[in-house]
């Protein structure tokens, strides 16, 4: 059974009072310090919406009441659709979904214990894998095709996703022209522009550059995407001690302000635009300022971000499930599990990077998608929690079996065992002898075998007439 | 007594303390003189600029480098120390001009076009200044042409290029290419750095050196400096 969209939120790393204090400080920053907007187009929009704009410094300040009004204009519930409706995900509240993330440059091969540059073929193959891995609920384009020139990257990445999985495809975009091309392609696939708005098969990401700065490219991109009505995530990536205060609370303030800047711009451009408040916040290794992808502080920051999103009633794009390990070892497992679990327990809606990523988010591994699929299955089971009612408390059964009896043959056991207990797809529960008899394989070796099976299965392709139409109408696609 | 001042200068660099009110790495330092006060009293005691710089400031920075390599010091510790050296150098600068101690060379640094990330470049700049180089920082998001123009006008010995984004690191190659086209490439040594940059990448674009972190960047520049002199 597949578990997704279940309610998290049982974990609260912030008290209600702390949520309020982070919010108040964020409002103070927006009112007093302001934020820099390097896109003239975006600056114009903030000015028109009543922001106090210093054009020389490209600085915008907004009143708290204006901020509130703009946040309220954003929808609290967003549906991200798959080509197969069964894969739709309904973001909002404390419902939790998890999927892949990007954008990695390398692919790690555990057999050779080395990495290579990622290519277009990886985006296709990983899409095919994710399509078959039940606990990965959406496909966020995971790698950068190093062989393509920049202007061909956007449309080819999205095409590779849509042509290989029926799950929802989200991705970062690199140019405004590329974003427009991708939207046009998705409209062709959806049948019309209207169909795509009704059932968004794709969504995009436009980042805010912490601290307190929207750069020209992303500012222009947010305007372009918001105009199109395609769902967009506006995450911020403040790094403790580098691009935010070293303290986690200070980081949360910067993340809140920065992501809200993106959210507000979408609502000024096109009120009601489906937008995700987002966090890629983490700390840095203060020995060399490396971005850390597997730290426990990252888990805490994203868990807290989920609470802020719930406070603002905005769907939340969270980050969790990565590791800084260079290989698929114990560190890889515990960092991925811990950060995923913290996000999920706090009710983060859209946990991205939750599968496949390692080494400071620079590298993916096919094997890790299979391993993380298992972790996510366990995480989803954890947030499902413990159902307590007369049937599950089972007084009658306990009475019937009585002291010294057993429950193995009970119908009650058979009835509940599959739904109450997570069924692993990768973990080894054999005895030592059985495990050795099967070759004594470690986790990633077993994952490699699963990958072979999954990639041998028939793959999804866009329906032939639609595929033809896309290839004839959209230029520059390498099919 | 004068020797004591030099070792106190060294210690205040290690502690990263500019003024007497500054906190140090260790507890209980507040109130004791910082590097600026110590340099003033060293000058008042007629200690040589040479010994203040080499034994006091550089000596302190060397130990900071060792502590950093050992994982005991983090970047903010190292920056506090480098800033202490910088503050001391500001006091010494007017006297240096009158002395026969030469600067080690000039380096232009820049983060390439479309990249706004400048923390790494700034750290390298501070360390280079602390080591006695003249650093001209062009800033971030700098046009390829503007970098080439700056090289033509300033005639530095070194050019340091930085990029954090995979989408912008290729601009480093553009800069090197344009320097070649303008016949300026052979006049300078080019070092590159930034999170996605590697030794391999540096070689592939024809750079002279690569630094994985600030101290490595400094070490590469120092090695190239002695290389150019030999």
Mind telling me how many Å the CA of B149 is from chain A's nearest CA? Answer: 24
The reply to whether residue B166 touches residue A213, judged by beta carbons under 8 angstroms, is no
CA–CA separation, A105 and A119 (whole Å):
9
CA–CA separation, A39 and A43 (whole Å):
6
CATH code for the part of the protein at A6-14+72-384: 3.20.20.480
Residue with tokens 């990077």: A353
Nearest CA in chain B to A174: B167
Q: Mind listing the pLDDT tens digit for each residue in B148-198?
A: 999 999 999 999 999 988 778 989 999 999 999 999 999 999 999 998 899
Of A105, A242, A291, Cβ closest to residue B166: A105
Q: What is the DSSP letter of B103?
A: P
Residues 6+ apart with CB under 8 A from A278: A205, A233, A234, A235, A236, A259, A262, A305, A316, A317, A318
The reply to whether residue A289 touches residue B120, judged by beta carbons under 8 angstroms, is yes
Residue B200 backbone phi and psi in degrees, to 5: -60, -50
Per-residue DSSP letters for A206-247?
--BBTTTEE-HHHHHHHHHHHHHT--EEEEE--EETTTB-SS
How much is the CA Rg of chain A, to the nearest whole Å? 23
Which of the four pLDDT bands, split at 50, 70 and 90, describes residue B229?
very low
The chain-wide mean pLDDT, for chain B, equals 89
pLDDT value, residue B230:
38
Q: Mind listing the pLDDT tens digit for each residue in A30-84?
A: 999 999 999 999 999 999 999 999 999 999 999 999 999 999 999 999 999 999 9
Q: Mind listing the pLDDT tens digit for each residue in B201-227?
A: 999 999 999 998 888 898 999 999 887
pLDDT value, residue B3:
63
Q: Are B15 and B29 in contact (CB under 8 A)?
A: yes
The reply to whether residue B74 touches residue A286, judged by beta carbons under 8 angstroms, is yes
Nearest CA in chain B to A243: B119
pLDDT value, residue B134:
87
| Nearest-5° Cα angle at A443, A441 to A447 | 100
The reply to whether residue B166 touches residue A215, judged by beta carbons under 8 angstroms, is no
pLDDT value, residue A373:
98
Q: Are A447 and A424 in contact (CB under 8 A)?
A: no
Q: Mind listing the pLDDT tens digit for each residue in B57-85?
A: 988 988 998 898 888 999 899 889 988 98
The reply to whether residue B116 touches residue A287, judged by beta carbons under 8 angstroms, is no
Question: Is the CB of A213 inside 8 Å of chain B's CB atoms?
Answer: yes
Neighbours of A461 (CB within 10 A): 12
Q: Mind listing the pLDDT tens digit for each residue in A188-230?
A: 999 999 999 999 999 999 999 999 999 999 999 999 999 999 9
Q: Mind listing the pLDDT tens digit for each residue in A412-427?
A: 999 999 999 999 999 9
Q: Is the predicted pLDDT of residue B114 greater than 90, yes or no?
A: no
Q: Mind listing the pLDDT tens digit for each residue in B34-55?
A: 999 999 999 999 998 888 988 8
Residue with tokens 């949520």: A19
pTM assigned to the model: 0.88
The reply to whether residue B68 touches residue A287, judged by beta carbons under 8 angstroms, is yes
Question: Is the CB of A148 inside 8 Å of chain B's CB atoms?
Answer: no
Spell out the domains of chain B, with CATH numbers in brackets: 2-98 (1.10.1240.10), 106-229 (3.40.50.280)
| Nearest-5° Cα angle at B210, A151 to A104 | 40
Structural domain boundaries in chain A: 6-14+72-384, 390-420
pLDDT value, residue B228:
56
Question: Is the CB of A217 inside 8 Å of chain B's CB atoms?
Answer: yes
**Both structure tokens of B165:** 């984004």
Write out the residues of chain B at the interface with chain A, using a CB-CB cutoff of 8 A.
Answer: 68, 71, 74-76, 114, 116, 119-120, 123, 166-167, 195-196, 212-213
CA–CA separation, A467 and A461 (whole Å):
8
Please name the residues between 163 and 182 in chain A that touch chain B, using a CB distance below 8 Å. Answer: 174
Nearest CA in chain A to B68: A287
Which of the four pLDDT bands, split at 50, 70 and 90, describes residue B1?
low
pLDDT value, residue B60:
92
């Amino acid at each position: 059974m597949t578990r997704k969209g279940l309610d998290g939120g049982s974990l609260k790393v912030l008290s209600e009072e702390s949520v309020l204090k982070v919010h108040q400080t964020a409002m103070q920053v927006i009112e007093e310090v302001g934020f820099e907007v390097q896109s003239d187009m975006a600056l114009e929009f903030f000015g028109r919406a009543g922001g106090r704009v210093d054009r020389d410094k490209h600085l915008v300040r907004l009143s708290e009441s204006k901020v509130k009004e703009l946040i309220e204009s954003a929808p609290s519930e967003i549906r991200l659709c798959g080509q197969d409706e069964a894969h739709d995900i309904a973001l909002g509240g404390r419902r939790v979904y998890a999927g892949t993330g990007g954008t990695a440059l390398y692919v790690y091969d555990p057999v050779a214990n080395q990495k290579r540059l990622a290519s277009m073929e990886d985006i296709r193959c990983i899409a095919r894998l994710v399509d078959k891995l039940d606990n990965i609920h959406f496909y966020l384009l995971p790698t950068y095709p190093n062989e393509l020139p920049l202007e061909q990257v956007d449309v080819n990445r999205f095409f590779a996703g849509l042509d290989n999985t029926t799950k929802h495809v989200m991705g970062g975009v690199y140019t405004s022209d590329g974003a427009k091309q991708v939207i046009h392609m998705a409209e062709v696939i959806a049948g019309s522009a209207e169909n795509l708005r009704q059932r968004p098969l794709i969504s995009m990401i436009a980042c805010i550059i912490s601290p307190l700065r929207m750069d020209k490219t992303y500012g222009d991109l947010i305007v372009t995407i918001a105009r199109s009505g395609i769902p967009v995530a506006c995450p911020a990536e403040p790094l403790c001690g580098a691009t935010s205060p070293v303290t986690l609370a200070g980081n949360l303030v910067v993340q809140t302000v920065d992501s809200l800047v993106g959210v507000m711009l979408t609502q000024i451009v096109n009120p009601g635009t489906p937008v995700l408040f987002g966090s890629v916040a983490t700390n840095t290794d203060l020995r060399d300022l490396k971005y850390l992808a597997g730290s426990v502080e990252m888990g805490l920051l994203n868990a807290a971000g989920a609470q802020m999103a719930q406070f603002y009633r905005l769907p939340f794009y969270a980050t969790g499930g990565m590791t800084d390990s260079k290989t698929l070892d114990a560190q890889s497992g515990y960092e991925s599990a811990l950060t995923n679990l913290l996000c999920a327990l706090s009710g983060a809606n859209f946990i991205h990077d939750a599968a496949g990523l390692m080494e400071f988010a620079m590298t993916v591994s096919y094997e890790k998608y299979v391993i993380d699929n298992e972790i996510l299955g366990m995480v989803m089971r954890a947030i499902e929690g413990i159902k307590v009612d007369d049937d599950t408390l089972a007084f009658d059964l306990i009475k019937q079996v009585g002291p010294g009896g057993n429950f193995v043959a009970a119908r009650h056991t058979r009835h509940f065992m599959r739904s109450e207990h997570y069924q692993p797809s990768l973990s080894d529960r054999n005895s030592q002898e059985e495990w050795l008899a099967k070759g004594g394989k470690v986790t990633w070796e077993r994952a490699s075998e699963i990958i072979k099976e999954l990639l041998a299965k028939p793959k999804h392709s866009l329906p032939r007439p639609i595929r033809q139409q896309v290839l004839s109408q959209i230029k520059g696609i390498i099919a | 007594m004068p020797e004591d001042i030099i070792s106190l200068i060294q210690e205040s660099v290690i502690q990263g303390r500019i003024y007497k009110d500054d906190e140090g790495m260790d507890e209980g330092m507040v109130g004791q003189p910082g590097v600026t006060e110590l340099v003033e009293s060293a000058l008042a005691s007629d200690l040589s600029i040479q010994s203040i710089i080499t034994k006091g400031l550089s000596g302190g920075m060397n130990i900071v480098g060792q502590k950093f390599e050992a994982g005991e010091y983090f970047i903010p510790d190292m920056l506090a120390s480098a800033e202490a050296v910088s503050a001391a150098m500001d006091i010494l600068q007017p006297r240096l001009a009158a002395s026969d101690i030469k600067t080690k060379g000039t380096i232009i640094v820049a983060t390439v076009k479309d990249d706004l990330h400048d923390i790494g470049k700034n750290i390298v700049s501070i360390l280079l200044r602390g080591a006695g180089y003249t650093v001209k920082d062009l800033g971030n998001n700098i046009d390829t042409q503007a970098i080439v123009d700056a090289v033509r006008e300033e005639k530095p010995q070194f050019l340091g290029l930085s990029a954090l984004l995979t989408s912008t690191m290729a601009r480093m190659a553009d800069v090197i290419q344009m320097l070649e086209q303008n016949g300026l490439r052979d006049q300078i040594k080019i070092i590159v750095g930034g999170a996605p940059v590697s030794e391999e990448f540096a070689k592939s674009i024809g750079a002279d050196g690569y630094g994985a972190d600030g101290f490595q960047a400094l070490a590469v520049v120092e090695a190239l400096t002695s290389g150019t002199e030999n």
